[in-house]
Structure 1
Amino acid sequence: MMQDQVKNYLSLTRKEWNGVVVLLVLIVLALIAPYAYEKFYPYQPLNTKGLDAAIEKLYARNRDSAKSDQATLFKFDPNHLPDSLWLKLGLNEGQISAIKNYEAKGGKFYSKADVKRIYTIDSLDYARLKPFINLPGENYKERTDAIVDINTANETQLMQLKGIGKGFAAAIIRYRDRLGGFHKKEQLKEIFGLDEFTYKDVAPNIRIDKRKVNKIDINKATTNNLMVFPYLTYKQKNAIVEYRNQHGDYKELADLENIPILDLEILRKIAPYIVFK
């Protein structure tokens, strides 16, 4: 009798057995889950390089700010100012290097705003320095009324343009000689070091006499004749000559499209410089 009572007490219905099985399965899954997760998603140490770089940048900025607070401000002409005086004004070596590179390429400061265009000079530095920038009016007068034909101008004439010093003037002439002349103003931006700011300054004051552009007779040119032309690689120049030798003279620009290594962008750029005689 007692045995039957215990048996009845411990007996489970089918629904209760299903519940027990489900519970056991959940327990097993909970136990093995951490090991499975570790297998499929192994531990990877946190990469702190980016964080370290950001912290170092913040520290560097704080050091620069502290250095600026200790700077000695005085009236100065930014053109060819010695490094020691830029340091005294509170600029760091990177900022000074950018200024010297700008000057080495023929750049000059004609107005206070020109200093702000140095990419390493931020708005805080410029605001701090601006009241002390002293540009002699006669020597650094903004020359905004000179109109210069960049296809015929010599160095002296080019230097009448705002922001164009001797270095840039020489670079413009060298590139003009390689091209055979400019056919649009935007080509000035292809000159190394002549940035968008300088281009915007000079663009309103230049004109182009397209009649001065020297054109190449593509049906007579040799690889050597094409050698200095900046828009074509040596392989492209050689391909133009070899294709002509094999197939005869070119009659129009479309004939050059048959050369696989000449894409439409290259053809667009060279079109103003070639003729078919």
Structure 2
Amino acid sequence: MRRATTGLVAVLAMVVFMGVASAQDKPADRVDINTATAADIMKVHGIGKKMAARIIEYRQEKGRFEHIRDLTQIKGIGEATFAKLVCAFYVVEEGPQTCVPYVGKGKKGGKKGLAPGQKVNLNTATAADLMQLNGIGQKKAQTIIEHRQKHGYFDSVKDLDDIKGFGKKTIERLAPDLEVMVDVNKADATTLWALGFTNADEIIKLRDSVGGFAEIDDLAQVPGIDKAALEKAEDILVFGKRE
């Protein structure tokens, strides 16, 4: 009887431990998008019944969201709306992504502050990412993204000069916190997905198995690679050494 009791106690202890660990791993302020109800989704500012229904319908059609950025594939979800959704939801396997709380239309960006050494990539950034920059609010962030979508990737931070409202002094102030190149050997799935590589998981799996890619031809051999996306991003991709 004592042995049986001891075994039961051990099992219960393990269950409690796993429950605590699970609670610690889950972001306190975000809901798993793969289990979220329409009611959960409608709690987000500006999301109504129709949009919530589209999100649920997309999840049912695809089976699940592989990445939180999959939300941008849904009609009506642009970068501004995504910036709000990413603060409320996450994909368990991917973990919570960068979030800047929605500040509302017309509000100006304040002093946000990036982590030491952190940079925002102009070619993969969401509105939320851009709004981490001092002086960049919802309106300017959306302007940058719309310019990128219309004219293609930024070759240099100086290309911001082509956007109305970004003068020389503004660009000089922002430059230390910005970058345009993407290191394929260090990029996470969210970054690769932002470049149009919907097979991001396969890219990372192969990259890790071979110790990194040496050149763009290696990337082109990954099963399911989008050739059009690869050609579009070719000039901003680099292949650094794996750490």
TM-score by length of 1: 0.26
Structure exhibiting the larger radius of gyration computed from Cα positions? 1
TM-score by length of 2: 0.29
Greater helix share, structure number: 1
